[in-house]
Amino acid sequence: MENINYNFDKKTAIITGGAQGFGLDIAKRFLKSGAKVIIWDLDKNMVEKSIKDLNNSNLSSNIIDVTNYNQVEKCVNEILKNSNIDILINNAGITGPTSTLWEYDVEIWKKIIDVNLIGTFNCCRAIIPNMIKNNYGRIVNVASVAGKDGNANASAYSAGKAGAIGLTKSLGKELADKNIAVNAVTPAGAKTRILDQMTTEHVQRMLSKVPRGRFLEVEEFTSLVCWLSSEENTFSTAAVFDISGGRSTY
């Protein structure tokens, strides 16, 4: 499949969880399309490897915990000294262990919500004032089909992603009178390291729900995110874009 590259010249993008999986592939396509890309990730080793492998002068990184608002705000203020922030991809997320809700570890449940929902809020809150100032911005929140359907034994992940969907709809409406688009994408299971966090049984149960009969390819996901992040997306906002191979039809 030949990739379409959009024009991201003179655009600066922040991609959370950008050192691997969806985030890294989005970074690669953005760089090919002329953007300056800043990867935010907690995994220092993966960040260093990604920076080395991509070897691009338009790529930089910050080791950052998106659940810590003060850390996010400080980092944003540093970036804004030299650049605007035109695109935000809220991709950082964790699935956590599979367990029934009544047996779920309380602190782990909270941590999953913190990363998947609070982290998205923190990044949006810190970055949006700059977008408002410039009357331009593209925000893509990476949710999940789990946030629409609710996956058994994944209540924290499902709730966090459902929250991200609700946040997207509210925020998109708040910014609808500006040239700032806020959308969510809801992928089904994909071939990324996040599958390693799940049991084999859970993975097979996910796959059995997909009419296409296969997992999502990372490149397919990136193509959708790129369009939503581009200047070509002039109208869609506060929307949820399904990419689940037919699993969700609403």
Q: Which residues are annotated as catalytic?
A: 157
Long-range contacts of range 63-69, CB-CB < 8 Å, 24 or more positions apart? 64/40, 66/16, 66/40, 66/92, 66/115, 66/119, 66/120, 66/122, 66/123, 67/111, 67/114, 67/115, 67/118, 67/119, 67/122, 68/122, 69/122, 69/125, 69/126
Dist CA 9 CA 248 (whole Å)? 35
Q: Shortest CA distance to 175 belongs to which of 131, 118, 141? A: 131
Residues 6 or more apart whose Cβ sits within 8 Å of residue 174: none
Say if residues 62 and 56 touch (Cβ distance below 8 Å): no
Residues 6 or more apart whose Cβ sits within 8 Å of residue 248: 145, 148, 149, 186, 188, 242
Which stretches of the chain are assigned E, i.e. beta strand?
A: 12-16, 36-41, 59-63, 87-90, 137-142, 180-187, 239-243
